[in-house]
Structure 1
Amino acid sequence: MGVEIWGDPAIAGVIGLLLGSFLNVVIHRLPKMMEHQWAQEHAAYAAGAHTASTPDNGPTFNLWTPRSRCPSCGHSVQWYENVPVLSYLFLRGRCSACKVRISARYPLVEILTGVLFAFCAHRFGLTATGLAWAGFSAAMVALAFIDWDTTLLPDDITLPLLWAGLLASAARWIEVPLFDSVTGAAGGYLSLWLVYWGFKLATGKEGMGYGDFKLFAALGAWFGWQALVPIILMSSVIGALVGIGLKVFNNLREGGYVPFGPFLVGAGLTAMVFGPNAILQTVLNLLGL
């Protein structure tokens, strides 16, 4: 019986560890790919070109090429140095060539993804529903770390995540009626869009980016319109607390900006694990209500 209970989560957890290793690549490279594309488009515009971009004759750089290298010495990471978590422990968190310390965030992303995949398999089994929520979890992990590092929420992740939620609802892989999913997506986008313009008209500043609208719309698609208020409350309260803490310890980045995406992600994952109603109760407890 024990093997039957833990077999599916164990399999999913291993897959999650492997995918977490790839997510580290996505987190590091996707923003650089976006910046490179923007630079090409800007150069083409400045040159008066009629096309959106100019041919790039530089070395290939994408999610697959070149191979992973140590940023300090350029050592090419071998396959046995890239085994999730185990390689980090074996190398004692250092490059095998130059011995420079490797960030502990790499195994953290792998472990987090593995745990989330194991949870999805434990709750939903190795089913279409479990696969859908595992994919949701992977996208959430990537978005949180990318936004924290760069204040970017790439359309390459947020928009597929939005459509995946709508399709999962239509296919009945998730327990959210299609009408609730569609209205959740629309409500999520429009609510933050209105907040953005209200804040900008009042202060002349931009309080958030369009990526936050799209991420909140995606969460609305996955959880329905009823979950929008609990999710935005939790992400706002925790985001404010973290922002205050960073300010107190003088750890705010230049401009005093704290990305909102990671807190939306945290609320979304909490909704997946405990349900939106539990989020609302948690927020009320934090506020002492």
Structure 2
Amino acid sequence: MAVAGLPPALLYAAAAVIGLIVGSFLNVVILRVPAMLEMRWRQEAADILDRPEADGGHERFDLVAPGSRCPHCETPIKPWHNLPVIGYLLLGGRCAACRARISLQYPAIEIAAALLAIIAIARFGATPWGGCMVGLSWTLLALAAIDFRTQLLPDSITLPLLWAGLVASTLHLAPAAPTPVAAILGAAAGYGVLWTVFQGFRIATGKIGMGYGDFKLAAALGAWLGWAQLPLALLAASLGGALAGGLLIASGRMSRDTAMPFGPWLVFGGWLAMVAGDTIGRAYLTLSGLR
């Protein structure tokens, strides 16, 4: 069956190619946004203390400049070596100049972005709402990787994602899309539930159990999913995080006092609710005899 005038195979191939290209850019976001935040924090601290910048550097550093270079020898990367996945294979997973090993993160993120685009288009079609779900999937992928690497969920990504979900709810892009009321309630519930858990854990143990970035990410998920799908997202995130943490502790690879990022599990729960929430809900009602 053709979708948007194109054979499905061609549509999915196009989604995969675009996903690989976007995945290459997501690698830049994942690596540079935390560094950009640290540079800004240092500058703000220097301004407050009325001191010069600690590093005295003035080279432009953002998502565009400087160009891609090896993190080990800082040799600029040739354009054909920057081709998603293909460049990694051509180089054999090593820098062309210094032969240092290239992180598997690069092809993994590119392939993941392609797969997420294919799944979102297959689930929601080549429609405006399907495009939103592709964009949501890519943004969640970047947030999960950043939090996994640095235990940060940047406001510069989570807050625009929240507002985009609220705005999208007013456009009535699909019958399954949340209404403005459902999106607002979902955003408020996402933030409020995790904030309440955070405060309860802090009072009970005197420890900080999660960061405020998790609250904002949960609010963004609530805005995109609506309040009805939010319980599934939070339940899947909690179970996944608890299971992974328990296995790591049992294997001795992590102690009970070691911090584990919760953002990747929120992303997992939110994405699962996005693509399969209705199916899981119907299955639960059927198996429980409520339907």
* Common fold by TM > 0.5: yes
AA at the equivalent of 1:33: M
User: For the Cα contact (< 8 Å) 1:267–1:279, is it kept in 2?
Assistant: no
User: For the Cα contact (< 8 Å) 1:233–1:280, is it kept in 2?
Assistant: no
Residues 179-230 of structure 1: per-residue CA shift (max 9 Å, x gap): 1111000111111111111211222211101100010011111111112221
Alpha carbons of 1:75 and 1:5: their partners in 2 closer, same or farther (altered >3 Å)?
same
User: For the Cα contact (< 8 Å) 1:155–1:211, is it kept in 2?
Assistant: yes
Overall identity of the aligned pairs, in %: 46
User: Quick check: 1:83 aligned with 2:53?
Assistant: no
Q: Which residue of 2 aligns with 1:246?
A: 248
Find the residue that maps to 1:275 and give its secondary structure: helix
User: For the Cα contact (< 8 Å) 1:120–1:133, is it kept in 2?
Assistant: yes
- Structure 2: unaligned runs, 5 residues or longer: none
Q: Which residue of 2 aligns with 1:37?
A: 40
Q: Which residue of 1 aligns with 2:24?
A: 21
Q: Which residue of 2 aligns with 1:112?
A: 112
Alpha carbons of 1:48 and 1:94: their partners in 2 closer, same or farther (altered >3 Å)?
closer
Equivalent residue pairs, number? 279
User: Quick check: 1:229 aligned with 2:254?
Assistant: no
| More displaced stretch, 92-101 vs 134-143 | 92-101
- Work out the CA distance in 2 between the residues paired with 1:31 and 1:250: 29
1:4 to 4, 7, 11: 7
Alpha carbons of 1:17 and 1:260: their partners in 2 closer, same or farther (altered >3 Å)?
same
User: For the Cα contact (< 8 Å) 1:230–1:280, is it kept in 2?
Assistant: no
User: For the Cα contact (< 8 Å) 2:20–2:114, is it kept in 1?
Assistant: yes
User: For the Cα contact (< 8 Å) 2:113–2:138, is it kept in 1?
Assistant: yes
User: For the Cα contact (< 8 Å) 2:234–2:270, is it kept in 1?
Assistant: no
Alpha carbons of 1:158 and 1:253: their partners in 2 closer, same or farther (altered >3 Å)?
farther
Residues 59-90 of structure 1: per-residue CA shift (max 9 Å, x gap): 11111111111111111111100101111111
Alpha carbons of 1:66 and 1:250: their partners in 2 closer, same or farther (altered >3 Å)?
farther
TM normalised by structure 1 equals 0.90
- Work out the CA distance in 2 between the residues paired with 1:279 and 1:90: 45
Query: Cα distance, 1:246 vs. partner?
Result: 1.9
AA at the equivalent of 1:76: P
User: Quick check: 1:261 aligned with 2:263?
Assistant: yes
User: For the Cα contact (< 8 Å) 1:230–1:276, is it kept in 2?
Assistant: no
User: Quick check: 1:73 aligned with 2:63?
Assistant: no
Alpha carbons of 1:254 and 1:201: their partners in 2 closer, same or farther (altered >3 Å)?
closer
Q: Which residue of 2 aligns with 1:208?
A: 210
TM normalised by structure 2 equals 0.89
Query: Cα distance, 1:57 vs. partner?
Result: 5.5
- Structure 1: unaligned runs, 5 residues or longer: none
Counterpart mapping for 1:126-165 below 5 A: 126-165=126-165
Alpha carbons of 1:204 and 1:159: their partners in 2 closer, same or farther (altered >3 Å)?
same
Alpha carbons of 1:254 and 1:280: their partners in 2 closer, same or farther (altered >3 Å)?
farther
Alpha carbons of 1:178 and 1:147: their partners in 2 closer, same or farther (altered >3 Å)?
same
Q: Which residue of 2 aligns with 1:95?
A: 95
User: For the Cα contact (< 8 Å) 1:189–1:213, is it kept in 2?
Assistant: yes
Residues 6-25 of structure 1: per-residue CA shift (max 9 Å, x gap): 22221121111100000001
User: For the Cα contact (< 8 Å) 2:158–2:216, is it kept in 1?
Assistant: yes
